[in-house]
Amino acid sequence: MVVLVTGSNGQLGQSLQFLAPRFPEIQFVFCTSSDLDITNKQNCEAVFAQIQPHYCINAAAYTAVDKAESEPEKAYKINVMGAKNLAEVCKAHRTILLHISTDFVFDGKKTTPYTETDIPNPTGVYGKTKLEGEIEIQKTLEQHYIIRTSWVYSQFGHNFMKTMLRLASERDRISVVNDQIGTPTHAVDLAECLVKIICHRELVEVQKPTNHDFGIYNFSNEGQCSWYDFARAIFSINDISIHLQPIPTSEFPTPAKRPAYSVLDKTKIKTVFGIDIKDWESRIRCQ
């Protein structure tokens, strides 16, 4: 079984590389943006023709939430046209696509966890382009899994945890917003979830082929917290003593508006694939 991974230099791509040795039955092919440019359909077609993947995990995305407000064309090119290109090439090669999306497709006005059937209403360029990418995939390719996730962090790449640890080495005091509520997601857990979906799919194909499980799914770790709570846990686990000040979002303006509440309901993914999801607090202790 051949699994092609785009965006292999990112958090998720590196997490999949970390997990790959555990799954010797899968031949992973990891592609950076220079190996496979998802915005270039001709390049996508050439790579797919050579590799002939059974699955494609699209971990390539424009994820600079604030910068997207001033670079909408670049965000659109990667998040929308890139997703469309992959969907079209996957269809031509009968490849199943696993595409990563985001909690930013929602406006954050709910006070209970978002399900896959809640109506998206993104408020910024990043969320809008990710939603448009989802739509292009749904229009083009039946055989897809769209996985919405939130607050991704890991030992790899750039993320909130690494930023907090860096700031703690530079400052005596840090202010973090405490009125945005969501759930941290360990990138390795997300990577493991994707591989389990593939393994489940292969087992189902052997036992009883079906296309009924394709569609949109939510995945994050369990529980919920504010960014302030997340930062406090990071410092506590790393035995870092620092003055951490909770502040409202109004005191920390950003170019892109963040959802005030973006907790995701994981009932569907747990039910369909039997995935056991770890609590965010216990997972962060494993760093």
To the query of whether residue 126 is one of the catalytic residues in this protein, the response is yes
Residues 56 and 197 sit within 8 Å (Cβ to Cβ): no
Question: CA dist 163 to 9, 17, 76, 159, Å?
Answer: 18, 23, 26, 6
Task: Enumerate residues 6+ apart whose C-beta is below 8 A from 209.
Answer: none
- Taken in order 186, 189, 191, 197, is the CA torsion positive or negative? negative
- Residue ranges with strand state E in 49-160: 55-58, 96-102, 144-149, 152-153
The residue assigned the tokens 């292999």 is 8
In the block, residue with structure tokens 């910024």: 124
**Residue partners of 101: CB distance under 8 A and separation at least 6:** 130, 131, 133, 134, 146, 147, 148, 149, 216
Q: How is 69-80 classified by DSSP, letter by letter?
A: GT-HHHHHIIII
CA-CA distances (angstroms) from residue 80 to 17, 35, 84, 110? 25, 19, 6, 26
Annotated active-site residue in 62, 114, 126, 261: 126
3-state secondary structure of 181: strand
State how beta strands 225-226 and 181-182 pair.
antiparallel
Residues labelled catalytic = 126
